Amino acid sequence: MTFDPPIRHLLAPNPSPLTGAGTNSWLVGSTALAVIDPGPDDPAHLAAILAAVGPGQHISHILVTHAHRDHSALAPRLAAATGAPVHAFGTAVEGRSPLMAGLAASLPAQGEGLDIAFTPDRRLADGDSLSGPDWTLAALHTPGHLGGHLCLALGDTLFSGDHVMGWATSIVSPPDGDMGDYMASLDRLVAGSWRRFLPGHGKPVETPSARIAELIAHRRQRERQILAGLAKGPDRIPALTGRIYHDIPPALLPAAERNVFAHLIDLTNRNMVVAIPSLHPDAEFVLS
């Protein structure tokens, strides 16, 4: 597959159940190169990115879709090696809704995968753009997987980070992730005329509209499963998760529980569910 302007792909050596084959780092441009998602802090991956810079080329911009360590942790070292500034929405905790900020204060420390030390040199707000000699990237703020998550549009190609992937659904883990925001961001992408998505993990998504529809349908199905479970009586997250996610490896159950909690928060916000005594992972949940 060829792209205009040139787009190259480097796979970081960090495979896992949550990253698939590893993190995708994307290099955009012919002369002044934009690096999207440098990846984990791995010396071999840093060397691979630097080795991909050919004669007459230099890295002019570093962009981070979101501040999870598998996407952002290499950014400071790449910036030091190239002199290129790092662009992102903000720190790992920026972009949270007031509700999620309040939950963060009341929940045990989680921050799983968060790059707490990450701070961009320059901030990208929704609608901002960056340009090189043969490329322009426009930022779309797509909170959900993380409050500060950005997708980056290059014409009708979208670097979709962890918001839309082909190989798996995104984890939405409160208070860092927000299911209401996630669904709203999917709805926003539906309105675009996209030719392909280049995600943070997995292969390119060649049928973006169909994939977004699948993800929306999947989340609505999970919502219906939760409501059906609560229709039988009050319940708690571990039991609900065990019944809904009965076919996944045990190691992924904690992530599934966080997804269920994300749905329950959204359902509570929509006055469909009540948390007793208050909104918390240990609460009992009942239908309104």
Specify the DSSP class assigned to residue 252.
G
DSSP element (H, E) containing 189:
helix 179-190
Q: pLDDT digit string (tens) for 92-128?
A: 999 998 899 888 888 765 556 999 999 999 999 999 9
Instruction: Classify domain 7-216 at the CATH class level.
Output: alpha beta
Token pair in block for residue 251: 């190691």
Tell which CATH classification among 2.60.40, 1.10.10, 1.25.40, 1.10.1220 matches the domain 224-287: 1.10.10
Query: Scanning the structure block, which residue is given the tokens 């992102």?
Result: 88
Residue type present at position 260: V
Angle between helices 75-82 and 43-51 (to 10 degrees): 40
Q: How far apart are CA 229 and CA 196, in angstroms?
A: 37
Topology alike, domains 7-216 and 224-287: no
Provide Rg for the chain, Cα atoms.
19
What are the strands, taking DSSP E only, across 47-187? 58-63, 86-88, 122-123, 129-132, 135-141, 150-154, 157-161
CA angle 27, 71, 172 (to 5 degrees): 130
Per-residue pLDDT at 1 exceeds 90: no
208-266 pLDDT, tens digit per residue, is: 999 999 999 999 999 999 999 999 999 999 999 999 998 888 888 888 899 999 999 99
Predicted confidence (pLDDT) per residue in 142-170, tens digit:
999 999 999 999 999 999 999 999 999 99
Predicted TM-score of the model (pTM):
0.94
Which residues, other chains included, contact 141 with Cβ-Cβ below 8 Å and sequence gap of 6+?
89, 95, 125, 126, 148, 149, 150
Instruction: Spell out a b/e string for 169-196, using b for 16 or more CB atoms within 10 Å of the CB, else e.
Output: ebbbbbbbbbbbbbbebbeebeeeebeb
Domain-by-domain residue ranges, the chain?
7-216, 224-287
Query: Tokens 């992924």 correspond to what residue?
Result: 252
